[in-house]
Amino acid sequence: MANAKYRIKKRKDALKELNGLVERDSNLLIIHYSCESFYNIKDGRTPRITSIAVRYFNTGQTISFSIHKVAEKQGKLDSIEDHYNELEKSMLDEFFQFVSTHINYKWIHWNMRDINYGFEAINHRYSVLGGTPSMIHDNNKYDLARKMVDIYGNYIKEHPRFEKLIDKNNITKRDFLGGAAEAEAFENKEFVKLHQSTLRKVDILQSVVERIIENNLKTDTTLREIYGFTPQGLYELVKENWGYNLFIFLLGAILSGIVGYIITLLLT
DNA sequence: TCTCAAGGAATCTATTCCAG
DNA sequence: CTGGAATAGATTCCTTGAGA
């Protein structure tokens, strides 16, 4: 375990960064997406993107892109599986059109970090289908799952963490599907379910962010694990949780009490 | 001044983790 | 179920200090 000082610094940095994002929330987006299962693809191609949801942090308005929505527009709802490639391509066309007009926004995401699952995967998929992806600069991406480790350490002991975190915080799970269930929904062509699950997740991500900012997110890490049992840790603990002013006030009250007591002793 | 022990630091390896 | 990255655990290495 790295030393306490370093951990406190990481926590502070991550919180500061997140606060900064939320302060400029007119420029802030939350993104999540669903795709086919990562394994179990027979012909070696990368998993299809099935739906993407993007939520404006300040207004809560959510834009979404999904295969079945595109199919509906093009009148192909009953023959989706015959047109996967072109439908997926049209959906990504719409998505990247959106990206190019929001290239300077900040994007909060959950573990979308590599070619397996993440921005890289979406870009790759679009290239495969013949598109040219607009790249979001890495500086504009904020991986909430990773930053939460900086802030809380091992914030949930049980797995899957995302789902357990939701349970622990009593955030509503209507329409929510676990990862395996989402992949299964795609197999069964339950695109609407899939889409709603993605929408719900983006919703949940916003709640989580807000709770972190308000310092009332419930996690499995104890105060001691977060701050460590060191003078600086205790100082941060008091400062963040009960307010520095209250601490100083109480300290003053105790000291004046002691002084008063000594004076009465001397006078009697 | 040399040797050896102890402990902190650095490096190497094993395990966990995460999205659908 | 994947795959790589990050973390935790294990091991080695190096420095420092004390004693002969």
| Bond before A133 cis per omega within 30 degrees | no
Confidence (pLDDT) at A243: 65
Confidence (pLDDT) at A82: 93
Give the orientation angle of helix A244-267 with respect to helix A231-241, to 10 degrees: 110
- How far is the C-alpha of A223 from the C-alpha of A228, rounded, in Å? 8
pLDDT (tens, 9 = 90+) of chain A, 268 residues, equals 446 677 788 888 889 999 999 999 999 999 999 999 887 676 778 899 999 999 999 999 999 999 999 999 999 999 998 999 999 999 999 999 999 999 999 999 999 988 889 999 999 999 999 999 999 998 899 999 989 988 888 888 787 889 889 988 999 999 999 888 898 899 899 999 999 999 999 999 999 999 999 999 998 887 777 776 666 777 777 777 776 667 677 777 788 888 878 878 887 7
Q: Do A127 and A111 contact (CB within 8 A), yes or no?
A: no
- How far is the C-alpha of A167 from the C-alpha of A209, rounded, in Å? 16
Q: In chain B, which nucleotides are within 7 Å of a protein Cβ? A: 17-20
For C4, which residue's CA is nearest its C1'?
A114
Distance A130 CA to C6 C1' (A): 34
Cβ neighbours of residue A37 under 8 Å, at least 6 residues apart? A47, A180, A183, A186, A187
Q: Give the angle subtended at the CA of A260 by the CAs of A257 and A265, to the nearest 5°.
A: 125
Structure tokens given for A198: 């993605």
Confidence (pLDDT) at A1: 42
Distance A111 CA to B14 C1' (A): 23
Distance A5 CA to C11 C1' (A): 26
Confidence (pLDDT) at A134: 93
pTM given for the model: 0.85
Q: What is the largest CA-CA distance in chain A?
A: 98
Confidence (pLDDT) at A2: 45
Distance A2 CA to C13 C1' (A): 20
Near strand C (CB < 7 A), which residues?
A 1-2, 37-40, 114, 116, 149, 153-154, 180
**Phi, psi (degrees; rounded to nearest 5) at A183:** -60, -40
Distance A15 CA to C2 C1' (A): 32
Instruction: Give the N- to C-terminal CA distance of chain A in Å, as an integer.
Output: 56
Confidence (pLDDT) at A89: 96
Q: Give the angle subtended at the CA of A161 by the CAs of A158 and A164, to the nearest 5°.
A: 75
